């Protein structure tokens, strides 16, 4: 289990099982990274079960609304159960036309956060908090926004890791759900072997992916050296960001215009046709890039969220830092590797697709380190998770362990959640000032 002691992992799983009485596949797959899992479970437990501005049934219903934006029936079903257990009104499960107007009012922000968070303005916030019988207080709204962002991002993880429903001993065929993801990698939870399942067994395939790994490590070394030799100018950095942003337009994940949304899922959302549109689309030039320096999680988002919904800021902050700094200093069969550069490229590429730019980051690195098949995978998992296929998962980094690919999915999930939160919290800050 790499640096993660098997014992630590077992203890955590046992503990989680004893608190919730069940061990879902998300927990099992995440337990490949116990330090992260602990942090994840702590913040999720806090959002769903601890004291907070929103009543418990509301929290689970908001989780359902968020998961429905990506047709994630795995999460929907999980929270339908929880919603009823916490005293939710069964009629609400017939669809959004049966819920109170207050909850209905979240439809718009749910939709924008899930697919185009850069469109969220202070006007959206004002509409929700304006006085009236259906208004939201700011603490309630922050709680709702955190839940929405959490479940949009978690849907990315579920689809990206191919997580399928658990078998239900009470159901006649053992499985309770109709919709099933395109592939299941729940055996990831038991992945101790070095060869990735996707590795073609022919010796040719082996050589192929080995040289791919060597080439990646070579590029990391070269970039490190270039960086030490000379700093790129601010102007070059801006140009490279713009280039990367435009290039992300060309990363196409396949034509899916006529996607069918099952009735089961569509009842929980309005405007099912609304989806991700590239931030960099021409004709939308009026959209200013979000300069990370102007509104950062560390200096702005964190304190705002903590002020309005106490302690959640600390928990989220710990989770973001944990995933960003998580490393075992290994890459496939290699030990003692500094993977900082690679982790940063993954995180910043997600933010780049969401129009967020870091002044101090050279986006040339993204191009050097993330090959095309990986970019297609990242874009799909982050922007249209429901389209992820096993082929996409298998097509990148064929020499890496499953646990390393799960690590990639954790980074994508947290980068996405942070991007959504930054846009929403910035709009709330503008409303307040």
Q: Where are the beta strands (DSSP E) in 232-337?
A: 290-291
pLDDT at 297: 94
Domain that holds residue 24: 1-166+207-432
30 part of a folded domain: yes
DSSP code for 301: I
Spatial neighbors of 200 by CB under 8 A, at least 6 apart, are: 206, 208, 398
100 part of a folded domain: yes
191 part of a folded domain: no
- pLDDT tens column, 397-422: 988 999 999 999 999 999 999 999 99
Catalytic residues: 72
Give pairs for 327-331: CB < 8 Å, separation 24+.
Answer: 328/2, 328/3, 328/4, 329/3, 330/2, 330/404, 331/213, 331/216, 331/217, 331/400, 331/404
Give pairs for 316-325: CB < 8 Å, separation 24+.
Answer: 316/43, 316/146, 316/421, 318/39, 318/42, 318/43, 319/36, 319/39, 319/40, 319/43, 319/414, 320/414, 320/418, 322/35, 322/36, 322/39, 323/36, 323/410, 323/411, 323/414, 324/411, 324/414
- pLDDT tens column, 39-61: 999 999 999 999 999 999 999 99
In the structure encoding, which two tokens stand for residue 372, read together? 């095309």
pLDDT by position in tens, the chain (length 433): 344 455 666 676 666 665 666 678 999 899 999 999 999 999 999 999 999 999 999 999 999 999 999 999 999 999 999 999 999 999 999 999 999 999 999 999 999 999 999 999 999 999 999 878 899 999 999 999 999 999 999 999 999 999 977 765 454 333 333 333 444 444 454 443 333 444 433 344 444 656 888 889 999 988 888 877 777 787 888 888 887 777 776 666 554 444 556 667 889 998 888 888 876 665 455 667 888 888 999 999 999 999 999 999 999 999 999 999 999 999 888 999 999 999 999 999 999 999 899 988 999 999 899 999 999 999 999 999 999 999 999 999 988 999 999 999 999 999 999 999 999 999 999 999 9
In whole angstroms, how far apart are CA 12 and each of 61, 317, 411?
28, 21, 21
Burial annotation 181-216 (CB, 10 A radius, 16+ → b, else e): bebebbebbebeeebbebbeeeeeeeeebeebbeeb
Q: Give the 3-state secondary structure of residue 374.
A: helix
Number of domains comprising the chain: 1
Would you say how long the chain is, in residues? 433
Spatial neighbors of 251 by CB under 8 A, at least 6 apart, are: 372, 375, 376, 379
64 part of a folded domain: yes
Terminal alpha carbon distance of the chain? 49
Closest CA to 385 of 114, 198, 82, 20: 114
pLDDT at 13: 63
188 part of a folded domain: no
425 part of a folded domain: yes
Residue 140 CA to residue 52 CA, distance in Å, equals 8
37 part of a folded domain: yes
178 part of a folded domain: no
């Amino acid at each position: 289990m790499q640096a993660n002691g098997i014992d630590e992992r077992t203890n955590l799983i046992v503990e989680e099982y004893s608190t919730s009485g069940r061990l879902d596949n998300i927990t099992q797959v995440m337990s490949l990274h116990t330090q992260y899992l602990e942090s994840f479970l702590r913040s999720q437990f806090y959002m769903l079960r601890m004291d907070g501005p929103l009543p418990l049934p509301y929290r689970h219903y908001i989780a359902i609304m968020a998961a429905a934006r990506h047709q994630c029936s795995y999460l929907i079903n999980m929270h339908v159960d929880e919603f009823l257990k916490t005293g939710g009104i069964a009629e609400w499960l017939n669809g959004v036309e049966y819920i109170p107007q207050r909850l209905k009012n979240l439809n718009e922000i749910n939709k924008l956060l899930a697919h185009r968070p850069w469109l969220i303005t202070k006007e959206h916030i004002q509409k929700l908090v304006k006085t009236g019988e259906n208004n939201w207080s700011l603490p309630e709204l922050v709680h709702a926004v955190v839940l929405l962002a959490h479940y949009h991002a978690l849907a990315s993880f579920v689809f990206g890791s191919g997580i399928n429903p658990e078998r239900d001993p009470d159901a006649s065929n053992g499985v309770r759900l109709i919709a099933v993801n395109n592939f299941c990698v729940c055996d990831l939870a038991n992945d101790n072997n070095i060869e990735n399942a996707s590795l073609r067994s022919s010796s040719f395939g082996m050589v192929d992916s080995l040289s791919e790994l060597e080439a990646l490590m070579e590029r990391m070394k070269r970039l490190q050296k270039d960086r030490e030799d000379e700093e790129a100018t601010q102007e070059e950095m801006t140009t490279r960001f713009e280039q990367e942003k435009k290039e992300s337009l060309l990363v196409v994940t396949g034509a899916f215009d006529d996607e069918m949304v099952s009735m089961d899922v569509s009842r929980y959302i309005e405007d099912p046709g609304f989806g991700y549109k590239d931030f960099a689309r021409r004709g939308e030039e009026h959209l200013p890039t979000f300069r990370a320096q102007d509104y950062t999680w560390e200096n702005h988002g964190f304190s705002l969220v903590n002020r309005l919904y106490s302690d959640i800021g600390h928990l989220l902050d710990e989770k973001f830092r944990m995933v960003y700094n998580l490393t075992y200093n290994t890459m496939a069969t290699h030990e003692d590797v500094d993977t900082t550069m690679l982790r940063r490229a993954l995180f910043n590429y997600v933010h780049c697709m969401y129009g967020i730019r870091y002044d101090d980051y050279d986006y040339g690195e993204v191009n050097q380190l993330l090959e095309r098949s990986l970019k297609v995978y990242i874009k799909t998992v982050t922007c249209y998770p429901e389209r992820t296929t096993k082929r996409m998962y298998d097509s990148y980094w064929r020499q890496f362990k499953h646990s390393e690919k799960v690590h990639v999915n954790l980074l994508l999930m947290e980068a996405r959640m942070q991007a959504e939160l930054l846009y929403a919290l910035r709009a709330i800050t503008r409303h307040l000032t």
